[in-house]
Structure formats: C-alpha cells, structure tokens
C-alpha cells in the first residue's frame, strides 16, 4: 500500500515548520533578543533595508527590530569586549535607530537595546538624548564643510575601523606613521 501524498506533504510542512522554529529560537538565544516578532534584521545572509529620516537627514540599518504589541524595539548587537557601561557612540547610534524607527514605522520606541557579548543595556529613548542626537547631527553638518577636521582620540583600534583612514593625515596606525617619518 502506497502512502497518501497529502499525508506526506503534511508531514513535510510540519517538519519544515519545526525546523524554522528551532532555527529562530537558536538565533534569538544567540542574540539574547527580547520576546516579540522580529520585523527587521540586517545580516550578511539577509541584508536589511536602509532606513532614512526626512527630518534629520540621517540613515542607518539597525541590526534587529523586535515588535512587541504596537511597540518596535531596535536592538544593536556589538562584538568584542563588553564595557562596564555602553560607549557613548553606541548609545547615540541606538538613539539614531530609535529616531529612524519612529519616523519610518510611525511608532515611538520607549527604549532600545545595546547587546554586547556578556551584557545588554536598555537605553531609554528620552527627549534629552533626542536633543543630543540633533545637536550632533547639526555639528556634523557644519564640520562637513570644513577643509580640516582633526582626530579627537588616541585609540589605534578606532582609527583602524575608521572609514576615512585612507585619507587621514592624523591616523594612528604604525604603517602610515612610518611613511610620515621617511
């Protein structure tokens, strides 16, 4: 007696559903994501859409957006050393994502999450941080017109990751400094 093709199809669909649940649960545990539906993800396998703010003229791609009821929570996943407190640059990046969520999804997140390997930090999306974001964006616009912008740190790792390192006369990597000494 041959098995019914509908039963075979039903078993395949159930197994596929279970496999999807297992992969989703494993990914959620890896990222330590809060409960809710993943409505956006920016990964090498599944690049996210670039979000744009008409008001501030900024754009970005959060790592993950989680929907809990009507709220959407941005989650920024960081690798490397876990700091005691989140870095100010990471906080402002997350606040930018909160702003982008508000403008693109028309819902204001109450907070966002910065997830480091050993700890996560919940950052409230408050007016003071919004104002700081607006101030920083305005300052960046003013400095964009300057001919010379100077390095404001002494961190080799920060310089190594900078997108302007190829044209920076103040970069800290040894290779470039050796060329200057010639």
| pLDDT tens-place string over residues 94-109 | 999 999 999 999 999 9
C-alpha dist (Å) from residue 94 to 10, 80, 111, 135, 167? 43, 17, 9, 15, 28
pLDDT higher than threshold 70 for residue 146: no
Does one domain contain both 79 and 135? Answer: yes
Q: Confirm whether 81 is domain-assigned.
A: yes
At 139, which helix (H) or strand (E)?
A: helix 127-144
Does one domain contain both 17 and 54? Answer: no
Separation of alpha carbons 98 and 70, rounded Å: 14
Q: Confirm whether 96 is domain-assigned.
A: yes
Q: Provide the residue range defining the domain that includes 9.
A: 1-31
Percentage of the chain exceeding pLDDT 70 = 80
Separation of alpha carbons 161 and 156, rounded Å: 9
Residues 6+ apart with CB under 8 A from 102: 108, 109
pLDDT higher than threshold 90 for residue 12: no
CATH number of the domain enclosing 97: 3.40.1350
Does one domain contain both 7 and 79? Answer: no
Does one domain contain both 18 and 50? Answer: no
How much is the pTM? 0.66
pLDDT of residue 22: 61
Separation of alpha carbons 97 and 75, rounded Å: 9
């Amino acid at each position: 007696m041959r098995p019914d093709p509908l039963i075979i199809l039903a078993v395949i669909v159930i197994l596929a559903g279970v496999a999807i649940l297992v992969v989703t649960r494993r990914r959620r545990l890896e990222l330590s994501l809060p409960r809710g539906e993943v409505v956006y993800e920016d990964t090498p396998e599944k690049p996210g859409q670039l979000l744009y703010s008409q008001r501030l003229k900024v754009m970005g791609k959060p790592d993950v957006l989680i929907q809990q009821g009507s709220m959407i929570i941005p989650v920024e996943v960081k690798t490397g050393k876990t700091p005691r407190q989140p870095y100010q640059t990471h906080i402002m990046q997350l606040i930018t994502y909160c702003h982008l969520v508000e403008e693109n999804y028309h819902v204001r997140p109450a907070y966002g999450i910065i997830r480091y390997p050993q700890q996560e930090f919940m950052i409230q999306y408050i007016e003071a941080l919004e104002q700081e974001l607006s101030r920083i964006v305005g300052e960046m616009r003013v400095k964009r017109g300057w001919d010379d912008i100077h390095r404001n740190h002494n961190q080799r790792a920060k310089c190594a990751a900078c997108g302007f390192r190829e044209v920076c006369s103040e970069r800290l990597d040894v290779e470039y400094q050796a060329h200057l000494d010639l």
